[in-house]
Every structure is written in structure tokens, then in C-alpha cells.
Amino acid sequence: MTDLPIADAAHHGAPSWVDLSTPDIEGATEFYVQLFGWSVATTSTPMGEYHIASMDDREVCGMMAQGDEQRGMPAMWTVFFTVGDLDATLASIDDHGGAVVQPPIEIPGGAHVAVATDPAGAMLAVISGGPRPLGAYLSTTPGGVGWVETLTRDPLAIVPFYETVFGWQTRSDEVSGYTMFTLADANVGGMLPMPSEVPAETPSHWATYFTVADCEATARRCTELGGQVHRPATSVGGVRFAVLSDPQGATFSVTELGDE
């Protein structure tokens, strides 16, 4: 796979993994395998079976069935960020307007993971310890993770939050309103004020983009496999993307990225 410039996955504040929580793991796995051509291996964990998707022998993401305590919650993709000191990071999240919604748990490999929200309510996960890199990356090869960004209803609140908690720097475009987050002179994600056409009930959230060769073809295939197209292929600022959801309702995006 060809990677874009990105902060090392071991660096505090770098995106290092994405995973899916779904009520129908068999259906979701079949959908994504057919859509992206992933191979999937299953491993047993104390929380249940974890499905790890790979492309070209590199891990892309994880997928897991919702537990009993998650029944009724929507299927969703979550972005994970590496942190150096988990306890200190969670304290900083609390101190700067976020909230810890799942205390730290240990996962196979020795890493510890916690789930939190930023001041606008967007959910994210933080992970510390264990082997690095975990596998998430910004890739120009179809099937890889192409980008992560937060769509937010409170940009003024979350910029200082991420600058403080993760040590990010920001670069904003006054015309488009888009903000690029950088870390160690590398891009780590973006921020977009919630577009007006998005339904009012849609909360602030982190979005995962998967790289594809053709957004239109991927959108058509998504509907053939039982998913939905929420935003047809669109070009903005030279980037072509589409917003889709799987048959279980988890929203994700696809993007065409050139080999620059």
C-alpha cells in the first residue's frame, strides 16, 4: 500500500485504528468483504470474537458484534487515537469539556483502551500500550483507511480541546470552513462544521473514509449489497468522496485519493 504523510502511529495524538460495532457481525463482515475486497481473520478476546480486516497483508480495521450492554445502540465506526499516558489523557479530556464514557479496559496484546466524547459530543477512543503500529494509516491504495475527520456542531469548542488533549496544531481555510489537524508536521485528520443539509438529529461524530478507485462504482455496489447512499459522489477542493452506510446502518465514507 502507498501511504500519505502521517504522524507515526506510536506518537501521542496520532490516529492508530478504526473499528466497527454492529448488531450483525456476520452480515457486516460479508458486506465489507464484498465491497472492499478485504480478507478477515477472527480472534477470540475476553469481550468476544474480534474480526480483523486486512488488505495486501496489512491490517485495516476491526469489527465486533455489540455486547448485551450495547443492545439498541446504532451500529457505528469509531476512530482510535494513541496516547502516551492513558490516565493523564482521560483526566485532560474531563478537564477540557469532554467526557469519559467507558473506563479503560485491557485488550489482547496488553494495550488499554477507553472511550470518550469531545465537547461537541463526538465519540472517539484512546489507546495506550501494546504493539505499534496497530495498522490504521492514510493509504492511497483501495481498501485502506484514506482519511478521518470530525463533523461537528461546535467547532469553536473542539479546536482548543484537541490542541490541548492531543497536542495537535490547526490550519483553517476561511472560505470552506475546513480545518486540518496536524501533528509533528504531518496530517492526522480534519474538522468540518456540520453541513446544513445534514439532519438536525445527526450528532457530532468522527467519520472514517476508506480509499476506493471509483466512488460512483463503490456507491452502486453498496446499494446492491443492501447499503445506502447518503451523499452521492461529490468533488470538494479536489477531493472526490461519497457518504454511505452498511445494511446495519453504520455510516462511513469513501474517497478517491491520487498517488501524489
Q: Distance between CA atoms of 255 and 260, rounded to whole angstroms? A: 15
Whether residues 204 and 109 fall in one domain? no
**Would residue 139 count as lying in a domain?**
no
C-alpha cell at 219: 456507491
Tell me: do 19 and 116 sit in the same domain. Answer: yes
Domain end among 128, 159, 183: 128
- What's the CATH number where 154 sits? 3.10.180.10
6 in any annotated domain? no
**137 inside domain:** no
d(CA 239, CA 255): 7
Closest of 168, 139, 145, 144 to residue 259, by C-alpha: 139
Q: CA dist 229 to 16, 71, 121, Å?
A: 27, 25, 24
Q: Could you say which of 75, 96, 128 is where a domain stops?
A: 128
Angstrom distance (rounded) from CA 99 to CA 86: 14
Question: CA 180, CA 88: separation in Å to the nearest integer?
Answer: 25
Residues 37 and 92 in one domain: yes
Residue 254 is predicted with a pLDDT of 98
Same domain, 104 and 168: no
Q: Do 182 and 224 fall into the same domain?
A: yes
Closest by CA to 118, choosing from 152, 149, 84, is 152
Q: What is the model's pLDDT at position 106?
A: 87
Pairing between strand 251-256 and 205-211?
parallel
Final residue of a structural domain among 99, 128, 157: 128
User: Is 7 a member of any domain?
Assistant: no
120 in the same domain as 170: no
Question: What is the count of structural domains for the chain?
Answer: 2
- Do 160 and 210 fall into the same domain? yes
Helix, strand, coil share of the chain (percent; to 5): 20, 45, 40
Mean pLDDT by 10 residues, the chain (260 residues): 56 91 96 97 84 90 86 90 95 98 88 95 93 62 92 95 96 86 90 88 94 97 98 90 97 78
pTM over 0.75: yes
Closest CA to 50 of 22, 89, 71, 92: 22
Tell me, yes or no, whether 181 and 238 share the same domain: yes
- 4: cell is 500519505
Are residues 163 and 111 part of one domain?
no
Domain span including residue 81: 15-128
Q: Mark whether 249 and 156 lie in a shared domain.
A: yes
